[in-house]
Amino acid sequence: MHEVAKELIGATFLVDGVGGRIVELEAYHHEDPAAHGYRGLTARNASMFGPPGHAYVYRSYGIHWCVNFVCEAEGVADAVLIRALEPTHGLGEMRRRRRLDDVRLLCAGPGRVCQALAITREHDGLPLDRPPFRLEPGTEAPQIVRGPRIGISRAADLPWRYGLAGSRYLSRPLRSA
Q: Per-residue pLDDT tens for 55-112?
A: 999 998 778 999 999 998 777 788 999 999 999 999 999 999 999 999 999 999 999 9
Ordered domains of the chain (ranges, CATH): 2-164 (3.10.300.10)
What H or E segment, with its residue span, contains residue 59? Answer: strand 55-60
The residue-averaged pLDDT of 128-156 equals 87
How many angstroms from the chain centroid is the CA of residue 31?
19
Binned at pLDDT 50, 70 and 90, residue 165 comes out as very high
Hey, which residues does 163 pair with through a beta bridge?
24, 145
Which residues, 6 or more positions from 17, have their beta carbon under 8 angstroms from its beta carbon?
89, 90, 134
- Could you say which DSSP state residue 46 is in? G
